[in-house]
C-alpha cells in the first residue's frame, strides 16, 4: 500500500494530467475546426477554378471560331482583290481600245449622242402635229443618223463593254470592302476574347497559388492534429495509469481497514467473554459488537 506522500504525489499528478488533457482537447478541437474551415475553403476554390475553366473553354471556342472565320474571309478578300486587279487591267485595255478606235474612226463626239438625237426626233414626230413634207424631212434625218450610228456601232459596243466591266469592278470592290469590314469587326472581337482569356488565365493562376497555399497549410494542420492527438493519447494513458494506482491503493486501504476492524472485534470479543465468565454486566456497546460478530458468521 502507498504511503501518504506517495498518494499526495499521485493526486497532484492526477490534477495536473487532467488539466493537461483538458487543454489538449481544447487545442485539438481548435485545430480540427481550423482544419475543416481550410478544407471547405480549398474545396470552394477548387469549384471556382473548375467553373472558370469551363467558362474559359466556351470563350476559347468563340475566339477560335472568330479567328478561323477571319482567316477564311481574308482568303476570300484576297481572291476578290486579285480579281479586281485583273479586271482593272482588263478595263484599262478596253478603254485604250476605245480611244484608239475613236481616233481611227475620226469621231469627235460621243456616239451615244446620235442615239439621243434619233430618239428626240422620233419623239417629236409622235407628239407634234406636222405636215407630211416636214415629217419626211425628219424621217430622212433619222435615216442619216442611223446610218452614221451603224458606222460607229462597234465603238458603242466597246463603250458598253467598258461600262459593264466598270460595274463588275464596282461590285467586286463593294464585296471586298464588306469582307474587309467584317474581318476588322471579327478580328477585334477575337482580340477582345483573347485579351480576356489571358487575364482570366492569370486570375486562375492566382487562384491555383492560393489553393496550393491552403493545401500546404491544411497538411500542416493535419500533421499538427495528428501530433496533438498522439500527445493526448499518451496523457490519457498516463491518466488511466494514475487512476488505476489510486484505485488499487483504495482497495488495499479498504482491505487494511477491514483487517484492522476484524482484529479489533476479535480483541473486544475476548474482553466480553471474560466479562461473561466473571458474571459482569454487559454494556450496550458490548451487545452491538456481539451482534456484528454474529452477522459476520
Query: Per-residue pLDDT tens for 81-120?
Result: 999 999 999 999 999 988 888 787 776 667 777 788 889 9
User: What pLDDT sits at residue 276?
Assistant: 82
Q: Does 11 have pLDDT greater than 80?
A: no
Instruction: Tell me what the mean pLDDT of segment 42-61 comes to.
Output: 83
Distances (CA, A) of 262 to 2, 203, 284, 288: 21, 86, 19, 14
Average pLDDT score over residue span 151-174 = 88
pLDDT band at 292 (very low <50, low <70, confident <90, very high): low
Winning range, highest mean pLDDT, from 3-12, 74-83, 188-197, 266-275: 74-83
Q: What is the pLDDT at residue 294?
A: 67
Residue 4 pLDDT > 50: yes
Q: Answer yes or no: is pLDDT of 263 > 70.
A: no
Question: Is 60 exceeded by the pLDDT of residue 29?
Answer: yes
Q: What is the pTM of this model?
A: 0.48
Is the pLDDT assigned to residue 260 strictly greater than 50? no
Q: Which of 28-42, 175-189, 250-264, 269-283 has the lowest mean pLDDT?
A: 250-264
Instruction: Please say if the pLDDT value at position 78 is more than 70.
Output: yes
pLDDT at residue 254, as a whole number: 52
Q: Which has the higher per-residue pLDDT, 86 or 222?
A: 86
Share of the chain above pLDDT 90, in %: 20
Average pLDDT over residues 131-148: 88
Higher pLDDT, 85 or 148: 85
DSSP, collapsed to helix, strand or coil, labels residue 192 as: helix
Query: What's the mean pLDDT in 191-220?
Result: 84
Average pLDDT over residues 129-157: 85
**To which residue does cell 493519447 refer?**
233
Which has the minimum average pLDDT: 146-150, 174-178, 209-213, 243-247? Answer: 243-247
Tell me what the mean pLDDT of segment 220-229 comes to.
87
pLDDT of 229 higher than 60? yes
Supply φ then ψ for residue 110, to 5 degrees: -70, 125
Mean pLDDT of 142-153: 81
Q: What is the pLDDT of residue 93?
A: 95
220 CB-near residues (< 8 Å, 6+ apart): none
Q: Tell me, what's the pLDDT at 148? A: 79
Comparing CA positions, the residue from 196, 176, 188 lying closest to residue 70 is 188
| pLDDT above 60 (res 31) | yes
Amino acid at each position: 500500500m502507498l504511503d501518504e506522500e506517495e498518494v499526495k504525489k499521485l493526486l497532484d499528478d492526477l490534477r495536473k494530467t487532467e488539466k493537461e488533457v483538458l487543454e489538449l482537447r481544447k487545442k485539438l478541437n481548435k485545430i480540427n475546426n481550423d482544419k475543416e474551415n481550410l478544407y471547405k475553403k480549398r474545396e470552394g476554390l477548387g469549384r471556382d477554378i473548375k467553373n472558370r475553366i469551363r467558362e474559359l473553354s466556351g470563350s476559347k471556342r468563340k475566339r477560335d471560331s472568330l479567328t478561323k472565320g477571319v482567316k477564311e474571309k481574308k482568303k476570300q478578300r484576297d481572291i476578290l482583290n486579285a480579281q479586281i486587279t485583273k479586271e482593272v487591267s482588263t478595263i484599262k485595255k478596253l478603254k485604250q481600245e476605245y480611244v484608239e478606235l475613236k481616233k481611227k474612226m475620226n469621231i469627235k463626239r460621243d456616239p451615244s449622242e446620235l442615239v439621243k438625237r434619233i430618239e428626240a426626233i422620233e419623239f417629236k414626230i409622235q407628239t407634234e402635229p406636222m405636215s407630211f413634207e416636214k415629217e419626211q424631212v425628219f424621217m430622212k434625218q433619222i435615216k442619216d443618223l442611223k446610218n452614221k450610228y451603224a458606222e460607229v456601232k462597234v465603238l458603242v459596243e466597246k463603250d458598253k463593254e467598258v461600262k459593264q466591266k466598270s460595274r463588275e469592278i464596282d461590285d467586286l470592290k463593294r464585296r471586298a470592302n464588306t469582307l474587309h469590314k467584317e474581318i476588322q469587326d471579327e478580328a477585334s472581337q477575337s482580340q477582345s476574347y483573347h485579351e480576356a482569356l489571358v487575364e482570366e488565365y492569370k486570375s486562375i493562376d492566382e487562384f491555383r497559388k492560393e489553393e496550393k497555399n491552403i493545401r500546404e497549410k491544411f497538411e500542416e494542420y493535419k500533421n499538427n492534429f495528428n501530433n496533438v492527438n498522439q500527445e493526448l493519447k499518451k496523457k490519457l494513458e498516463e491518466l488511466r495509469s494514475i487512476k488505476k494506482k489510486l484505485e488499487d491503493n483504495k482497495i488495499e486501504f479498504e482491505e487494511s481497514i477491514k483487517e484492522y476492524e476484524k482484529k479489533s472485534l476479535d480483541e473486544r470479543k475476548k474482553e466480553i467473554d471474560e466479562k461473561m465468565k466473571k458474571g459482569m454486566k454487559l454494556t450496550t456497546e458490548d451487545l452491538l459488537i456481539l451482534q456484528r460478530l454474529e452477522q459476520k458468521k
